Every structure is written in C-alpha cells, then in structure tokens.
Structure 1
Amino acid sequence: MLYSTEQLVSIAVTVLLVMFSAIVHEVAHGWVAYRLGDPTAKEAGRLTLDPRAHLDGFGSVLLPLIMAFLGGPVFAFARPVPYNPYRLRHPRRDELLVALAGPASNVLQALVGTALLGAFWSLAPGAYASGTLSLELVGGTLDLLTTYVYVNLVLCFFNLIPFPPLDGSKVVLFFLKGDARRKFYELSQYAMVGLILILYVLPTVLGFDPLGIYLNATAGRFYDALVTLATGV
C-alpha cells in the first residue's frame, strides 16, 4: 500500500507525539517516587525529558510506527523508569501512587492539549481572515492538537489495563499481601509476552479486538467530549 506525503507526515507527527507523551509518562513515575522517598530514578539520571534517556527501540519507535501504518490506535512505551518500592516511605500505598502518576500525567497532557485547542479554535478564524495563518497551517495545527489529546487518552487508558506490567496491575497489587504479593511480582517478569499475545494474536486469529473495543469506549468517548468542550462542535 502506497502512502501519500500527507499521510506519511501525519504518521510521523503521531509517532513523535506518542513518544513525547510516553516519556512524560515515565518521568512522572520517577518524579512521584522521588517525592515519596525513592531516589532510584534520580540516581539513574532518568528524571529528565531528554529522549536519549528513555527511548526503547521497539516500544518507543517500532511499535507506534507499526500501529500507525495499520491505522489503529497508536500507543507506545518508553524504557520504564526504575524505582525501588522498598525505598518508598509507605511502600504499599506509595507504589500505587507511583503507578497512577503515569496515567495521571497523560490526563494532564490531554487537558493541556484541550485548552490549547480551545484557544486556537477561537483565534484561528480571525488569524486566517487577516492572512496571518494559511488554511494549511490552521488545519495542520488542529490535527496536531487533536492528535496530542487523543494519543494521551489512549496511553492513559491502555496503561490502566490491570495486567502486568501495565500500571493498572499495581491497583490489583495494592490489594494483595504476603505470598500472593510476592507471586504477583514474579508473574510480572513474564506477563508482557502474554499481553502481546492477547492484544495481537487474539484479534488476528479470532477476529475479536478487545483492545479496540475498550479504547473506543474509554479514550474514544473522552476524546469526543474534550474536543466538543474545546470547539463546541
């Protein structure tokens, strides 16, 4: 399948926005852990937005490219920011807060994107009428802002899936104690393979896409609501 220049540019922009949003997501984990007593991420030099400290070849570049070319929801992951739950002041509670910091950062980014979209939506007609902005620039900026909102909502709700090693699994972990908690940690080391099988093999073999259904019902609906809030359309 051949892609037009416009489509390739759109794919590149989407992947870059996903990469940036995923990096902010990981830094948020490390920053909250640091504030709660664990300096592991700071000691590893990971409390930075410098992409060189975070990018994962597969998760940050190849995976979002594949998903963008396939035309479905695009998500990615950066290299997880290290933290040590035993260095947290209140390990059981604080581990949950550290986990939720990532999705919370994506919600915050989506809200920032919504605010920028609303401001641009109100200013664009006048700027276009005066010749300050071209129609192409107006359209490109709107695409950029709406994509930024959408990819952050996708990253938020994808990471809230309660399956190791996603952040949502830490919500489950919060309710586990003793031997069950230890076994859950052991399971987390191998769960990514199972997650990929569920997300990719299941739709391919059975034609059933639970991830797409879930993201449409969560990220998709919130996206529609935020865009309507920003533009009134």
Structure 2
Amino acid sequence: MDKLYRFILILLSRGILLTAIMPAACFAKAWVSKMLGDNMPESTGRLSLDFRKHTDRIGMFSTIILGFGFGHEMKHDISNLKHMKRDITLISLSAPAAYFLMYIILMNLAILIYSISFSSFLLASVYFILKEAAWSSLCFGVIALLPLPPLDGFQIFYQFSWPKFRRWYFSHYQKIMYWSRNILYAIFLLAIITDGELSLIGFLADLWNKLFSHLIFFSIDFSKVTEKILKYIFRVNF
C-alpha cells in the first residue's frame, strides 16, 4: 500500500513537471529569443505555457512513466541576432536558469506549506509532491547543461569552440547526433536500472543542490514526512 501511494504521489509530481515546469522553461527560452531579435520560436507557437505546444505523445508518456522526457526541438533564426556568441549563450542559458529558479521556488513553497501544519498528512503529501517536482526541475536543468548535442550546454560550448572542432562537427553531424542520443538514453536508463545508485544526473544535481541550499529559506525535519505517511497508511504509532 505504501509503495502504491508513493507511486501515485510521484505521478502527480510528474504531472506538474509536464504541464507546468517544462512549458515554463520552454516559454523562458522563447521569450529570451524574442527579446534578442529571434522571432521564430514565437511564430512556431513556442511562446506559450500550453504544454501541448512543446511536446508530443511519446515525450508526454516518457515524462509521466519514466520521469524523464523530451519536447519538440525549438527552431531559431539566428540571422537576426546582433551579437551571435553572446545572444546564443543567453538563449541557451535561459531554460536551465528557469529550471533552477523553479526548483528554488518549489522547494521553498513545499517546506512552507508543510510547516503551516506539521501534523497534517495531507500537507505532508503535498510537500512530497512539490519536493519531487522540484527535484525533477533541478535534474532537468542539469540535463540541459550537459555538453551533448542538441542540448543547451552543447550550444554554449559550441559558441566558444575552436574552428577545427566546428568543421569536424559539421562533417560528422548525423553520426554525432546518433551517438549523443544513445549516450543520453544510457545515462537515463542506468539511473533507472540501478535505482539512482549510478546516476550522473543525480551526482550533478547534488552538487547544484548544495549551491542552491543557501536559497532555501525554510527548514523541516525530513524524517517526519515519511513517518506521517507511514502512520496514516498502516495506522501505527512510532
């Protein structure tokens, strides 16, 4: 029963990830693009908070069931950018920055809600949902910064790479994209198979979490959350 209830809460957190967090990050990227002179994301419907504009059925299914997913690649018209390297770097940083900001907001909100009534099982459940959604947001920000095409981290790396690398990249584009996607899938699947024991994303997320810990302004006894949920399910006293 406890595993089923936990799974339901995790599904709800992934629903928040799919319908609110991912669209907000895409919106931020499209908005920054527009501010810098690239109107293509807006013309293709990406300047929107509607999650249906940013993902497809496979991506939605993957996000809900597996906890990681993908959306439509955002198209850009860089010919209108005035400062190419700077503007592409800012555009590429906008989505990860949005994910990190939402992590900070959600974690503070989760702990604040729970602290209002520490004896409430309902608020403990809400806390768990928001905490899971916040952690997913942090992980998505970390993923976006990986230096693998077509992720934002690679776009930033590419802007400051040397000419020889750029020529090699263009001459082997299809093969690089093929292996890059396989590496990403391997990273995700390894984390799932090992239940997080061997997770590059988890390791990097922990590092970012330590950096952002100074921006989490509320505190909570985390052990009490699990205790309250187990007490409600099994009707036992600790």
TM, length-normalised to structure 1: 0.77
Residues 49 and 185 (structure 1 numbering): CA distance in 2 closer, same or farther, change over 3 Å? farther
CA contact (8 A) 1:121 1:230 kept: no
Q: Which stretch has the larger CA shift, 190-199 or 97-106?
A: 190-199
Alpha-carbon separation, structure 2, partners of 1:200 and 1:77: 11
The answer to whether structure 1 residue 140 and structure 2 residue 132 are counterparts is no
Other structure's SS at 1:231 match: coil
1:165 aligned residue (150, 175, 178): 150
User: Residues 79-90 of structure 1: matches in 2 within 5 Å?
Assistant: 79-90=72-83
User: Residues 1-233 of structure 1: matches in 2 within 5 Å?
Assistant: 5-19=4-18, 20-59=20-59, 61-67=60-66, 74-125=67-118, 128=119, 135-176=120-161, 180-181=165-166, 184=169, 191-201=176-186, 212-223=198-209, 226=213, 230-233=218-221
Residues 137 and 223 (structure 1 numbering): CA distance in 2 closer, same or farther, change over 3 Å? farther
Deviations 1:110-165 (A, max 9, x none): 1111221232233123xx5xxxxxx3311211112211210111001011110101
Residues 154 and 196 (structure 1 numbering): CA distance in 2 closer, same or farther, change over 3 Å? same
Q: Which stretch has the larger CA shift, 154-163 or 139-148?
A: 139-148
Residues 145 and 209 (structure 1 numbering): CA distance in 2 closer, same or farther, change over 3 Å? closer
Q: C-alpha displacement at 1:175, in angstroms? A: 1.0
Residues paired across the two proteins, number: 215
Structure 1 unmatched runs, 5+: 68-73, 129-134
Alpha-carbon separation, structure 1, partners of 2:71 and 2:196: 23
Structure 2 unmatched runs, 5+: 222-238
Residues 218 and 180 (structure 1 numbering): CA distance in 2 closer, same or farther, change over 3 Å? closer
Deviations 1:171-216 (A, max 9, x none): 2112136564365367565545323422445766xx9999943222
Alpha-carbon separation, structure 1, partners of 2:111 and 2:216: 9
Alpha-carbon separation, structure 2, partners of 1:112 and 1:187: 41
Alpha-carbon separation, structure 1, partners of 2:24 and 2:142: 15
CA contact (8 A) 1:117 1:230 kept: no
Q: C-alpha displacement at 1:97, in angstroms? A: 0.7
CA contact (8 A) 2:10 2:132 kept: no
Q: C-alpha displacement at 1:75, in angstroms? A: 2.5
What is the root-mean-square deviation of aligned Cα atoms in Å?
Answer: 3.2
Give the structure 1 partner of residue 230 of structure 2.
Answer: none
Q: Aligned residues: percent identity?
A: 23
TM, length-normalised to structure 2: 0.75
Deviations 1:40-84 (A, max 9, x none): 11122221101221122222x2222442xxxxxx33222133221
Residues 138 and 118 (structure 1 numbering): CA distance in 2 closer, same or farther, change over 3 Å? closer
Alpha-carbon separation, structure 2, partners of 1:66 and 1:191: 28
Alpha-carbon separation, structure 2, partners of 1:65 and 1:218: 22
Give the structure 2 partner of residue 70 of structure 1.
Answer: none
